[in-house]
Amino acid sequence: MASNGEDSIGKEQESTVVLGNLQVIELVKKAVAEEIQKANKHNVDELSDRLQAIEASISKISKSNDAEKTKNDSKKELNGESTVPHNNTTKVPSKTVKRFQLKHVFKDVANFKEDEKYYSEWEEHYNVKWRMSVKRYYNHLGVYVHCEPIAPADNWTIRPYLEFKVVGPNQNDVIRTWQSCIDREVGYGFYDFLDWEHMKTWFLVDGKLTVEVEVKINETSGLEKPKIRKFDESQKDISDVILVVMDTKFYVSKTYLASQSDVFKALLFGNSKESKQSEVTLNGIDPDDFHYFLEVLYGEFVINDSNVEDIALLADMYDAPTVLRRCEEFLLEKSKKTLEKKLEIATQYNLENLRVKYRSHITTTVVPKNNSGPENRKVTRKNSLRKLLCF
C-alpha cells in the first residue's frame, strides 16, 4: 500500500501529466489556429488578388464601354434629348465639324528673299482649295493660309478657325490662332509670326522649316452647287415632318428617313419630344451639305469630288450606311482625288473596300524612277501613308 508520500508524488505526477497534456493541447490549438490564420490569410490574399484582377477587368471594360459610348455619343448627338428603343438613351448629332490639317516642309529657308512668298501645294478640302505660304518680312517670319472655291463663285465666305504651328526640333513649337471671315483669294495669317533670327537658330533642321495649320470650318456660304431634287414647300403634301437647318426647311418623310438612318429612327420615332413635333430643328449643320445628303439618301447621283467629304461626314453622323456606301463607290470608281486623300477618307469613315483596294495597290505597285506622282508613290517607313494603312 502506498504511503501518503507516494500518493502525493503520484498525484503530483498525474497532475504534471495532465498539465503536460493541457499544454500540448494548447500548443496544438495554437498551432492549428496559426495554420488556420495562415490559410485564411492565404485565402484572403488570394481573394484579394482575384478581386483586384476582377476590378481591373471591370475598369478596363468600363473604360472601353465609356470610350465606345463617347464615340457613339459624338456620332449620334443631335439635340441631346432623343432616346432609342429598349430604353437605351442615345445622344444624336449636334454639329458637323469640318476639320483638316495642312502641313508642309519648306526647304532652304535661311536663303529666302525678303518679301517673297514661298508656297505649299494646293489641297482640296470641302469644296475649297487650300495652301500655305511663308515669307521673310522685315526680319520676321510670316505664315499665311490661302483658299479659293473649286467651283467659280462671285460671292462666297468661309469662317474658319486656324491654328498655326511652327514645329521645333525640341518640342519647342510655337502656336498662334486666327479666326475671322475669308471672302477673297488672299493670304490670311501673321506677318510677324516669329523673329527671323530666332527662327533660324531654334527651328530650322538642315535648312528646313516644318509648318502646320489645323483648320476648322465654322460656316460657309456661296460654295453650293445646283440642286437636283426639291425638299421645299412644294413637297408638303407628301411629307409628314419638317427638318429645319438654320433658315432652310426640308419637307421629308419620317418613315423613309427612319428606314435609312438609325439616328433619324431614334429621333423621329423614339421617346424624345422631337418625335411628337411637326418641325424638328437640326443644329450646327450646313443646309447645302444637308441638301446633298438628302439627295443621295433619296437615290440621286449627286456625289462629286467637291461634296463627297461633306456627304460622307453627314452619312457617318446620322448612321446612314447606304449613303456612306455610295460615297465609297464614288471614291473607288470616279474620284480624281489623290491616293493620300482617298486613304484619309477611308480611314476616317472606315470604308474597308477603299482601304483594301489602295493598300493592295500601294504594296504591289513598283514605282518607276521617273514617276513621282501621288497615285504611284511607293510606301516607305517614313511615308505618311503607312500611318493611314496601319502598317
DSSP bridge pairs for 175: 165
DSSP bridge pairs for 280: 243
Q: What is the pLDDT of residue 38?
A: 54
Q: What is the pLDDT of residue 220?
A: 82
Extents of the domains making up the chain: 1-50, 65-92+227-329, 98-221, 338-391
| Contact partners, residue 54, CB within 8 Å, separation at least 6 | none
Q: Tell me the average pLDDT of the chain.
A: 76
CB count within 10 Å of CB 96 equals: 19
SS3 state of residue 38:
helix
Closest CA to 343 of 335, 330, 355: 355
User: In the chain, which residues have pLDDT < 70?
Assistant: 1-96, 224-225, 360-391
31-43: pLDDT as tens digits? 545 654 555 555 5
87-132: pLDDT as tens digits? 333 344 545 578 889 999 999 999 999 999 999 999 888 878 999 9
CA of residue 145 relative to chain centroid, distance? 24
Count of residues making up the chain: 391
| Distance in angstroms (rounded) separating the CA atoms of residues 387 and 303 | 27
Q: 193 with 174: CB under 8 angstroms?
A: yes
Q: Which residues of 54-82 are buried (b: 16+ CB within 10 A; e: fewer)?
A: eeeeeeeeeeeeeeeeeeebebbbbbeeb
Q: 94 with 77: CB under 8 angstroms?
A: yes
Q: What is the pLDDT of residue 64?
A: 43
C-alpha separations of 186 from 182, 259, 266, 389 in Å: 9, 45, 45, 35
CA angle 70, 386, 150 (to 5 degrees): 75
| Distance in angstroms (rounded) separating the CA atoms of residues 338 and 317 | 24
Q: What CATH number should be reported for the domain whose range is 65-92+227-329? A: 3.30.710.10
Q: What CATH number should be reported for the domain whose range is 98-221? A: 2.60.210.10
**Which helix or strand (DSSP H or E) is residue 100 part of?**
strand 98-106
CA of residue 39 relative to chain centroid, distance? 51
Question: 290: which DSSP letter?
Answer: H
Kindly tell me the sign of the dihedral angle through the C-alpha atoms of 226, 287, 352, 305.
positive
CA atoms within 13 A on the CB side of 212: 9
Specify the pTM. Answer: 0.54
Task: Return the HEC string of 222-249.
Answer: CCCCCCCCCCCHHHHHHCCEEEEECCEE
SS3 state of residue 118:
strand
61-99: pLDDT as tens digits? 444 444 444 444 444 333 333 333 333 333 445 455 788
Rg (CA), the chain: 35
CB count within 10 Å of CB 116 equals: 10
164-195: pLDDT as tens digits? 999 999 888 999 999 988 988 888 999 999 99
DSSP bridge pairs for 336: none
Q: What is the pLDDT of residue 96?
A: 59
Q: What is the pLDDT of residue 333?
A: 92
| Distance in angstroms (rounded) separating the CA atoms of residues 274 and 252 | 15
Q: 97 with 301: CB under 8 angstroms?
A: no
